[in-house]
Amino acid sequence: MRFRRGARLDPGQVRDVRGRGFGPAGAIGAGGGLVGVIITVVLLLAGGGSGGSGLNLGGTDAQNETLSAECRTGADANQHQDCRIVGVVNSVQAYWAETIDGYREATTTFFTGQVQTGCGFASSAVGPFYCPPDMGAYVDLGFFDELESRFGARGGPFAEAYVIAHEYGHHVQHLLGVLERSRDGSTGPDSAAVRVELQADCYAGVWAANAVETGYIEQLTRDDISTGLDAAAAVGDDRIQERAQGQVNPESWTHGSAEQRQAWFTTGYETGDPAACDTFAVASP
């Protein structure tokens, strides 16, 4: 994945609180690292908006000043991981802003260890996640190392982009009123929770199909898409359960199998059309 060298980045869409203390680790995400891995949206939605009163998304801190100074153009995104994630966020939001009437931007927050959100405290153990009450995506960048070392993915820039685009898929679902359908508590390959996650995978594929047209991405190669598919498979419920427990229990799935996740990302990528991502319209996703 290569960015256009002259593309102007907007680091204002990213909030950097790495290294900032937020008190003791919160209840959200305890034990969720293995089962939730890439998105713990069900846990976060179950928490409602509790714990959000202390959240302050405003202001400028030293870390954000660093992002603003270092992440100015696509050339910076080609050299530095932080700037690369900024570029992906910019591209994803540029696409959805052109696609959805009344699109409202979400803020991506970089954190380490734990973070306070509109959904309460969360730890890095839950993996990257989206919080509906504050419309924020949260990621400890150390997760991308774990994606390779712990979950066996090939990794790389587009694997990271897939994760970010998936989170923004949840943001789109929130804006469209779909995300709340995962709150019914159901699990299993055909559950609402899995359908929501697979739709977010499909939306990630749709963005990838349109990424070059956003003006930020210069080129996506077949190998890029391959690493995205590999990352999607690595965080399939079946792969995670097999690795952690030595057995697979489909009835407890909340995110979908490796095959399901790859299939829906591919659907989004090959069609480039969000309308093709209605995972609730099929008998079995």
What is the per-residue pLDDT across 242-278, written as a single tens digit (0 to 9) for each?
Answer: 999 999 999 999 999 999 999 999 999 999 999 999 9
Q: Does residue 4 lie in a domain region? A: no
155: phi then psi, degrees, rounded to nearest 5: 75, -165
pLDDT band at 61 (very low <50, low <70, confident <90, very high): low
φ and ψ of 106, to 5 deg: -105, 155
Strands (E), 29-173: 107-110, 114-117, 120-123, 129-131, 136-139
Q: Is residue 283 part of a domain?
A: no
Residue 135 lies in a domain: yes
Banded model confidence at residue 21, pLDDT cuts 50, 70, 90: low
CA distances from 3 to 73, 172, 213 (A): 9, 24, 12
31 lies in some domain: yes
Number of domain units in the chain: 1
Domain that holds residue 206: 9-277
Task: Kindly report, residue by residue over 93-108, the tens digit of the pLDDT.
Answer: 999 999 999 999 999 9
Give the residue with greater pLDDT, 19 vs 169: 169
Q: Is the pLDDT of residue 24 over 50?
A: no
Considering the entire predicted model, what is its pTM?
Answer: 0.87
Residue 1 lies in a domain: no
What is the number of residues in the chain? 285
Residue 236 within any structural domain of the chain: yes
With tokens 């966020």, the residue in question is 89
* Structural domain contains residue 169: yes
DSSP bridge pairs for 123: 114
Type of residue found at 266: T
pLDDT computed for residue 63 by the predictor? 67
Residue 233 in any domain: the answer is yes
